[in-house]
């Protein structure tokens, strides 16, 4: 059993079932900027997706350096009109974890913080989280897999690495936790990868470092944390 008191989630692909909606956003953005995407389907998009986001935008043909402000503006507007759908089963998991005395819940994501807050409020989940940490247009904090944003969240929560677990859907999430454990001596931090998001099980299993656990359904989170809901 892991003696943990902090569970930190990524948002897209973990809490939000956002693979298809993200692909649709990029199609929408490409039409605004007069681009033709080099991917033609959700499956192809998933196979070629990677983080950090600015590099993926460049890969798709966007001029990130010159158009970043417009991209942020259009992204926020688009997702205000197209709220996220939750991953099936994740709300029950979050509610169960929140019922555990002294358990701290947080989100650390590369998504825009305003978009995160709005979606959590919409689905009645905001009050479940002690901290929601995303990115802002003028924020210069480096993106994952740099561990800065994750370490900042742990500091705010007053949690150590060894008492915490990070749940993500991308190799970059595992690498972020690994890099955090390399930077500080209070680790290592445990990781869980889910196959409900932007990476296949094969991709997650082949990466180094690899998550402590790879799961296919949110309900398995409770089992892996050895938490029994009575």
One pLDDT digit (tens) per residue for the chain, 230 residues: 457 899 999 999 999 999 999 999 999 999 999 999 999 999 999 999 998 899 999 999 999 999 999 999 999 999 999 999 999 999 999 999 999 989 999 999 999 999 999 999 999 999 999 999 999 877 788 889 999 999 999 999 999 999 999 999 999 999 999 999 999 998 899 999 999 999 999 999 999 999 999 999 999 999 888 753 33
Could you tell me if 49 and 180 are in contact, meaning their C-beta atoms sit under 8 angstroms apart?
no
Q: What is the pLDDT of residue 229?
A: 33
**Does residue 230 belong to any structural domain of this protein?**
no
Distance separating alpha carbons of residues 194 and 196, to the nearest angstrom? 5
Q: What is the pLDDT of residue 140?
A: 80
53 and 133 in a single domain? The answer is no
Would strands 104-112 and 131-135 be described as parallel, antiparallel, or unpaired? parallel
* Alpha carbon separation from 142 to 30, 146, 153 (Å, rounded): 25, 6, 14
Q: What is the pLDDT of residue 159?
A: 96
91 and 199 in a single domain? The answer is yes
125 and 61 in a single domain? The answer is no
Question: Count of alpha carbons within 13 Å of 20, Cβ hemisphere only?
Answer: 8
195 and 95 in a single domain? The answer is yes
Domain membership of residue 109 as a residue range? 6-17+85-224
135 and 55 in a single domain? The answer is no
Total domain count, the chain = 2
27 and 127 in a single domain? The answer is no
Q: What is the pLDDT of residue 94?
A: 97
Q: Can you read off the two tokens belonging to residue 95? A: 């509610």
122 and 171 in a single domain? The answer is yes
Q: What is the pLDDT of residue 136?
A: 86
130 and 45 in a single domain? The answer is no
Classified as helix, coil or strand, 99 is coil
Distance separating alpha carbons of residues 145 and 148, to the nearest angstrom? 9
30 and 91 in a single domain? The answer is no
């Amino acid at each position: 059993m892991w003696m943990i008191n902090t569970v930190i989630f990524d948002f897209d692909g973990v809490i939000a079932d956002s693979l298809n909606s993200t692909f649709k956003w990029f199609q929408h953005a490409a039409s605004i900027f007069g681009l033709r995407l080099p991917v033609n389907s959700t499956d192809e998009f998933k196979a070629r997706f990677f983080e950090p986001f600015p590099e993926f935008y460049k890969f798709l043909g966007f001029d990130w350096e010159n158009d970043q402000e417009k991209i942020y503006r259009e992204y926020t507007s688009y997702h205000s009109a197209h709220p996220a759908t939750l991953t099936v089963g994740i709300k029950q998991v979050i509610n169960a974890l929140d019922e555990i005395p002294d358990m701290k819940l947080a989100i650390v994501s590369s998504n825009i913080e305003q978009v995160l807050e709005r979606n959590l409020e919409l689905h009645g989940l905001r009050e479940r989280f002690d901290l929601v940490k995303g990115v802002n247009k003028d924020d210069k904090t480096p993106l994952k897999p740099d561990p800065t944003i994750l370490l900042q969240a742990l500091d705010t929560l007053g949690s150590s690495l060894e008492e915490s677990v990070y749940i993500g859907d991308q190799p970059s999430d595992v690498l972020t936790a690994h890099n955090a454990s390399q930077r500080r001596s209070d680790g290592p931090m445990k990781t869980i990868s889910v196959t409900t998001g932007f990476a296949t099980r094969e991709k997650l299993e082949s990466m180094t470092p690899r998550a402590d656990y790879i799961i296919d359904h949110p309900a398995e989170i409770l089992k892996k944390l050895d938490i029994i809901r009575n």
